């Protein structure tokens, strides 16, 4: 049965989504419950509103002014990955499954209203995942787009239940804010319009535990107009994580290098992460300005050099290189 929500309800809902304090949110939810049409088609929604309201009322009051610092996420780890998708795509489920963060996951849409970062371990490094509120036609806070712009990589999250609708909506809405996604691993499109930003993206397809998912995925691959690099996963069965980690590492275009001191074993536990194409000089700058300023030469062990080869600052490093800096 259709919900037939009224303009008064939609206005209260919009106010709720932009509310910052607990008190504002409670007032909006009470208003939504007051004006929602009372019939069978809205029973589920009414129950959800009541459950949100009682949860908010149980939360302790925050002291001091409301803080909006969830809108700035300082970058941590080897790359910042922002999760973008329509409501219910599975963004929060991914962050909950892959990190220690605890974003709310629910079967109804528009669950997430804040940005939640969490660290995803990948071999000996970690990526920072940022769970975001959904992109949807009704309303998206401007700071959501700011966070998409700030990220190094986008996971364009769609559910196998509705992949094309989610994909189209997201690319369309990002386009209205001058953000264009392109398949990670391919060259970024030539800049066509000033001020437009191009971001590499992986298409992460959730719900691969669902009945018929394999067939739906094959159909999706055929229907895609853009050759997105697809990573199928299931947040329920916990599958696809290794590939998701490996593809993310590739898509971030980073390398790991390991440092050693003369006559000592290399530190193979804590690599430095650098952009592909980085040089010995870049590594030295990452470690310390004084080391970069005083750099004389480095000895490198790795696939493209002979063991302990002596190189200058301009030498380009490779994934897995071991470097001994002399300064
Ligand atoms: N079967 C199945 N269900 C999933 C999977 N991933 C997410 N879900 C379910 O999909 C629903 C929505 O998941 P969320 O993670 O809250 O989705 P979201 O994209 O964060 O939603 P919003 O916060 O509204 O944007 C929940 O009921 C999840 O349990 C999956 O891989 N398999
Ligand atoms: Mg969410």
**What is the per-residue DSSP string for 261-318?**
-TTS----SSPEEEETT-BHHHHHHHH-HHHHHH--EEEEESTTS-TTEEE-TTPBP-
Cβ count near 191 (within 10 Å)? 10
Alpha carbons 170 and 168: distance in angstroms, whole number: 6
Q: Is the pLDDT of residue 240 over 60?
A: yes
> What pTM, to 2 d.p., does this model score?
0.79
Alpha carbons 148 and 135: distance in angstroms, whole number: 11
Kindly list the domain boundaries of the chain, sorted by start residue: 7-58, 69-252, 255-326
- pLDDT recorded at residue 32: 87
pLDDT, tens digit, 9 for 90 and up, residues 33-43: 988 888 888 88
- pLDDT recorded at residue 56: 87
Nearest-CA residue for ligand 1 atom 7 is: 90
pLDDT, tens digit, 9 for 90 and up, residues 2-21: 667 887 787 778 777 766 67
Instruction: Tell me the CATH architecture of domain 69-252.
Output: 3-Layer(aba) Sandwich (3.40)
- pLDDT recorded at residue 315: 97
CA distances from 6 to 11, 15, 37 (A): 9, 14, 7
Assign 254 to helix, strand or coil.
Answer: strand
Ligand 1 centroid – CA 16 distance (Å): 22
pLDDT band of residue 311 (cuts 50, 70, 90) is: very high
Which ligand approaches the C-alpha of residue 84 most closely?
A: 1
Which ligand approaches the C-alpha of residue 235 most closely?
A: 1
Ligand 1 centroid – CA 69 distance (Å): 25
Q: Is the pLDDT of residue 126 over 50?
A: yes
Nearest-CA residue for ligand 1 atom 4 is: 207
Ligand 2 centroid – CA 115 distance (Å): 9
| CATH topology assigned to domain 255-326 | Ubiquitin-like (UB roll) (3.10.20)
């Amino acid at each position: 049965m259709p919900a037939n929500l009224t303009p008064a309800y939609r206005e209260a809902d919009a106010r709720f989504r932009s509310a910052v304090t607990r008190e504002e949110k409670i007032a909006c939810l009470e208003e939504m419950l007051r004006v929602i049409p009372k019939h069978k088609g809205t029973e589920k929604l009414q129950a959800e509103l009541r459950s949100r309201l009682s949860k908010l009322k149980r939360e302790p009051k925050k002291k001091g002014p409301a803080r909006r610092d969830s809108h700035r996420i300082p970058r941590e780890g080897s790359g910042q990955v922002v999760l973008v998708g329509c409501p219910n795509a599975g963004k929060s489920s991914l962050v909950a499954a892959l990190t220690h963060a605890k974003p709310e996951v629910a079967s109804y849409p528009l669950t997430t209203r804040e940005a939640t970062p969490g660290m995803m371990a990948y071999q000996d490094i970690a990526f920072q995942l940022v769970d975001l509120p959904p992109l949807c036609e009704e309303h998206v806070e401007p700071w959501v787009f700011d966070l998409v712009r700030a990220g190094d990589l986008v996971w364009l999250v769609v559910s196998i239940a509705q992949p094309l609708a989610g994909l189209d909506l997201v690319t369309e809405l990002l386009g209205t804010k001058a953000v264009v996604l392109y398949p990670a691993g391919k060259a970024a499109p030539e800049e066509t319009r000033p001020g437009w930003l191009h971001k590499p993206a992986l298409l992460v397809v959730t719900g691969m535990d669902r009945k018929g998912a394999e067939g739906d995925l094959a159909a999706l691959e055929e229907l895609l107009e853009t050759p997105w690099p697809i990573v199928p996963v299931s947040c329920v069965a916990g599958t696809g994580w290794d590939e998701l980690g490996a593809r993310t590492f590739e898509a971030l275009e980073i390398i790991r290098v390991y440092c050693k001191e003369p006559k000592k074993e290399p530190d193979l536990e804590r690599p430095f992460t650098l952009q592909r194409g980085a040089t010995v000089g870049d590594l030295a700058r990452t470690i310390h300005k004084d080391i970069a300023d005083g750099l004389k030469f480095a000895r490198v062990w790795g696939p493209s050099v002979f063991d302990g080869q002596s190189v200058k600052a301009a030498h380009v490093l490779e994934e897995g290189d071991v470097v001994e800096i002399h300064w």
